[in-house]
């Protein structure tokens, strides 16, 4: 077995040597080397082009992702501005409810109603996108969007808390039946939780706006404006059409 294998290898070696001597005799060695170099350079060039194309496609993808994130962040900055007004106006109403409940007095009609409140747009990077952004764009850009996303999530959690806690105030609505002292006590507890949530929202909204501005983003109102007073807010919410009056 070994002898057969050795004979095959030696035979192949002798044939290669014979071909090489024949090429040398006919002056073809230089041509062979030239063709080998050309083929090698062609392979390397093709590989380089393929690598460049893949890198360009990855960069285009990241740039499109960042454009999407910037657009969502600019919209979220508008929502954050609306939440600063919302927290201020709802705090005034909640403090009034606490005082009336503490005095055992009935609430004015409609005081437990509230306008719609807005949630934010998803503006997050996946783990893979975060790695690519850091490699192709830089650490600061990736960190900016990740910090923005943390503030956005905090703002959304505050908004969810407000929605849940506000519904607890319905026990003071005389249209739903007689109001007991226990109802008033529970409503005051809910109101205290709301006041804490408003403070959290104000901090998150302010930090979100600061993060967006640090990335050079401008607020995108998309044909709307933030209400200019609590009166406007209680009538129609924090965001109104530009042509609805007030400041534009």
Q: Is there a domain that residue 108 lies in?
A: yes
Domain containing residue 221? 11-240
What the block records as the tokens of 88 is 């201020």
What gap in Å lies between CA 234 and CA 33, rounded to an integer? 85
Between 29 and 180, whose confidence is greater? 180
Between 230 and 1, whose confidence is greater? 230
Q: Give the list of residues 6+ apart from residue 225 with CB closer than 8 angstroms, or none.
A: 239, 240, 241, 242, 244, 246, 247, 248
How many residues belong to the chain? Answer: 248
Q: Is there a domain that residue 28 lies in?
A: yes
* Exposure of 42 in the CB half-sphere (CA atoms within 13 A): 6
Q: Is there a domain that residue 192 lies in?
A: yes
Between 68 and 225, whose confidence is greater? 225
What gap in Å lies between CA 94 and CA 159, rounded to an integer? 15
> Quick one: pLDDT at residue 8?
43
User: Is residue 133 very low, low, confident or very high in pLDDT (cuts 50, 70, 90)?
Assistant: confident
> Quick one: pLDDT at residue 60?
79
Q: Is there a domain that residue 1 lies in?
A: no
Between 116 and 14, whose confidence is greater? 116
- Read off the pLDDT of each residue in 105-131 and give the average, rounded to a whole number: 85
Q: Give the list of residues 6+ apart from residue 115 with CB closer than 8 angstroms, or none.
A: 233, 234, 235, 236, 237, 238
> Quick one: pLDDT at residue 227?
92
Q: Is there a domain that residue 2 lies in?
A: no
- Read off the pLDDT of residues 88-103 as tens digits, 9 standing for 90 and up: 999 999 999 999 999 9
What the block records as the tokens of 211 is 């993060």
Q: Is there a domain that residue 5 lies in?
A: no
| Cβ 24 vs Cβ 18: under 8 Å | no
- Read off the pLDDT of each residue in 165-175 and give the average, rounded to a whole number: 91
- Read off the pLDDT of residues 52-83 as tens digits, 9 standing for 90 and up: 566 777 777 778 888 888 888 999 999 999 99
DSSP, collapsed to helix, strand or coil, labels residue 226 as strand
Q: Is there a domain that residue 118 lies in?
A: yes
Q: Total domain count for the chain? A: 1
> Quick one: pLDDT at residue 88?
96
Mean pLDDT comparison of 119-128, 162-171, 238-247, highest-scoring range: 162-171
pLDDT above 50 (res 247): no
- Read off the pLDDT of residues 14-46 as tens digits, 9 standing for 90 and up: 665 565 565 555 555 555 555 655 666 566 555
- Read off the pLDDT of residues 226-235 as tens digits, 9 standing for 90 and up: 999 999 999 9
Q: With pLDDT > 90 as the criterion, what percentage of the chain qualifies?
A: 46
Q: Is there a domain that residue 247 lies in?
A: no
Query: Which helix (H) or strand (E) covers residue 227, if one does?
Result: none
Strand partners, 239: 226
Q: With pLDDT > 70 as the criterion, what percentage of the chain qualifies?
A: 76
State the DSSP code for 240.
Answer: E
């Amino acid at each position: 077995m070994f002898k057969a294998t050795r004979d095959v290898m030696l035979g192949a070696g002798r044939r290669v040597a014979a071909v090489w001597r024949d090429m040398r005799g006919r002056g073809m060695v230089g041509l062979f080397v030239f063709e080998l170099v050309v083929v090698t350079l062609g392979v390397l060039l093709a590989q380089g082009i393929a690598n460049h194309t893949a890198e360009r496609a990855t960069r285009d993808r990241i740039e499109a992702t960042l454009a999407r994130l910037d657009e969502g962040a600019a919209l979220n900055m508008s929502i954050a501005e609306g939440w600063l007004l919302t927290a201020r106006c709802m705090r005034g109403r909640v403090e009034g409810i606490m005082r009336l409940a503490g005095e055992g007095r009935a609430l004015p009609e409609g005081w437990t109603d509230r306008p719609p409140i807005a949630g934010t747009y998803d503006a997050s990077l996946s783990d893979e996108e975060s790695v690519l952004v850091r490699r192709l764009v830089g650490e600061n850009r990736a960190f900016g969007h990740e910090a923005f996303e943390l503030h956005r999530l905090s703002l959304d959690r505050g908004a969810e808390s407000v929605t849940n806690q506000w519904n607890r105030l319905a026990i003071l609505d005389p249209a739903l039946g007689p109001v007991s002292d226990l109802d008033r006590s529970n409503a005051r507890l809910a109101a205290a939780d709301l006041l804490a949530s408003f403070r959290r929202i104000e901090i998150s909204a302010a930090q979100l706006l600061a993060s967006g501005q640090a990335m050079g983003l401008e607020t995108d109102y998309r044909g709307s404006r933030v209400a200019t007073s609590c009166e406007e807010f209680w009538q129609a919410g924090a965001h109104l059409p530009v042509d609805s009056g007030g400041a534009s």
